[in-house]
Amino acid sequence: MDPIKFRCKECHKRVEAQYTLDSVRASLARQEDTIIFALIERAKFPLNNFGHNRLFGSDEYIGSMINGLVLKTEAVQSKAGRYINPEENPFFPENLPPSAAPDYPFSEFLQGAGASININKEIWEVYFHELIPMFIKCGDDGNHAQSVLADLTLLQAISRRIHYGKFVAEVKFRESPKIYEPLIRAKDSEGLMDELSSESVEERVVKRVERKATVFGQEVSLEYDVSGDTYMINSVASKLYKKYLIPLTKKVQVEYLLKRLD
């Protein structure tokens, strides 16, 4: 199959990411759509526990299907260059193959040792032990690969959102270095958490997520508009953010700042 031949003179123009407090908050708002739709897609399958626990694989891999599919999918995506983007963090960073994609000069906006923070092991545990039971019905419909890939899509969207906290923290540090530097040098985690937190912004995020999930979760037909939440996902989405995504995003911000001057 021939590669797509773009004829637009703009098609190779580099689109440089700009990081300001407004732009990172706008990116987090756009990521809400991705997460909510990934929740809706995963909720279409029952638990399909086979994919999570039972042994699966072939000569080069024996383990759970979810581990195998995530590990193999990340390896393919790594070769395609996914993880040269500092906004992306793999769940299995050990032994990832190097990118074979054309090099791309991603912004080196993140600074210090905090740039390599990866809390995906914690996200993985929270996802399977606390999030899945929140919204997935018991049962097995045989769609093991499909539901596991829906898990991966949702895991990657959640991970990207939480680790975006590194960019938010860098923006805040650059805006107020004289406030953050003393707190960092004093290793004052609580002081950093207080300084970077904004209750009003968090409340807006949770309310907006609940409204988006109510709208996105509706079923629309040609005969009639069905209002209301078909997938009952709005309460799940707002709880997901309030109880897990926001606290973990702030945790990443604090951990990033503690290493910012290293």
Ligand X SMILES: C=C(O[C@@H]1C=C(C(=O)O)C=C[C@H]1O)C(=O)O
Question: Applying CB under 6 A, which residues contact ligand X?
Answer: 25, 28, 168, 196-198, 201-202, 205, 246, 249-250
Q: How far is the CB of 101 from ligand X (least distance, A)?
A: 29
Q: Which H helix or E strand runs over 185?
A: helix 177-185
Nearer to ligand X, 35 or 70 (CB): 35
Q: How far is the CB of 250 from ligand X (least distance, A)?
A: 5
Nearer to ligand X, 181 or 202 (CB): 202
Other C-beta atoms within 10 Å of 110: how many? 19
Going from the C-alpha of 119 to that of each of 31, 80, 107, 223, 239, the distances in angstroms are 18, 23, 22, 46, 20
Nearer to ligand X, 26 or 232 (CB): 26
Q: How far is the CB of 168 from ligand X (least distance, A)?
A: 4
Nearer to ligand X, 175 or 219 (CB): 175
Q: What is the DSSP string of 24-36?
A: HHHHHHHHHHHHH
Q: What residue number has its CB nearest to ligand X? A: 249
Q: How far is the CB of 257 from ligand X (least distance, A)?
A: 12
DSSP-derived letter for residue 258 is: H
Note the residue count of the chain.
262
Angle between helices 165-175 and 21-42 (to 10 degrees): 170
Q: How far is the CB of 249 from ligand X (least distance, A)?
A: 4
Q: Report the DSSP beta bridge partners of residue 225.
A: 220
Nearer to ligand X, 88 or 195 (CB): 195
Q: How far is the CB of 158 from ligand X (least distance, A)?
A: 12
Cβ–Cβ under 8 Å, residues 151 and 42: yes
Q: What is the DSSP string of 12-64?
A: T--------HHHHHHHHHHHHHHHHHHHHHHTTS---THHHHSEEEETTEEEE
Nearer to ligand X, 54 or 211 (CB): 211
